[in-house]
Amino acid sequence: MITVSFDDTTAGPDDLPLLRIADAANRIHGMDARRLPGLLESSWLDWAPPSSRLPDVGMPSPPGRDDWLWARGHAGLLGFDVSAYGSGMMFASMLAKRVGVRRAGWCALALAWCARMARLDARAWTLALLEHDPARVRADSLRLVPVGPLSGLWSVWASPAFMPGVTGVDVACALMDCARAGRYRSDHVVAPDGRTVRIPDMVWDRVDSMGLASVFADTGF
């Protein structure tokens, strides 16, 4: 598990949303590919992030100045624009005025970890971002993400940037449910928490235009 220490205190993924994303990316990066089918099936049952079922893995080499410099020029992939800050210290100094010195230090270190993971494995980082903060995934990063609805939260359908104002986490999970159950062009799905999730016609039109209709063939499940 990735943690950060500052001012004689330690914070983990439960304390910082940024660190939660970085830690998820680390788990995905270390994933055995043979686990993928089971992860996606489990995610279908409860609509939970697939990485939540991955085991803890050791921390990669810690971030350094090169990772921060990389982050300044890769806001599109990272999902966070830190181009105005020449170092993590500068970022923490700005943030301290709003959240206090300790939390600002944690956040700067967590953001450095985000840059480290995005630089190490762009695909794993993008999947983690889709799970935990999908609005930050830019359209040009979707080339790294599966288009198939069976991938659920790890598909382009989970990104608001794919079909602005239409797609997102609920639509992605609803399409995954339809694909698993062979319900082509269903207009709604009932989520595990009892909510009704609508699937607009334009989503199905996009499915058709991408040649994905066969994924929803009735398999007799």
Quick check: is 87 in a domain?
A: yes
Longest CA pairwise span in the chain (Å): 59
Are 115 and 150 found together in one domain? no
Cα 217 to Cα 4, 76, 212: the distances in Å are 47, 36, 10
Quick check: is 11 in a domain?
A: yes
Are 60 and 168 found together in one domain? no
pTM of the model: 0.94
The token pair at 46 is: 């409860």
Across 82-111, average pLDDT: 95
Per residue in 41-58, pLDDT (tens digit) is 999 999 999 999 999 998
Q: What's the pLDDT score for residue 219?
A: 58
Query: In total, how many domains does the chain have?
Result: 2
Using alpha carbons only, give the angle 194, 197, 201 rounded to the nearest 5 degrees: 160
Q: Which phi-psi region, left, alpha or beta, contains residue 194 (left: φ > 0; alpha: ψ -120 to 50)?
A: left
Q: What's the pLDDT score for residue 59?
A: 87
Quick check: is 181 in a domain?
A: yes
Residue 111 is which amino acid?
L
Domain of residue 156 covers 146-216
Across 165-191, average pLDDT: 97
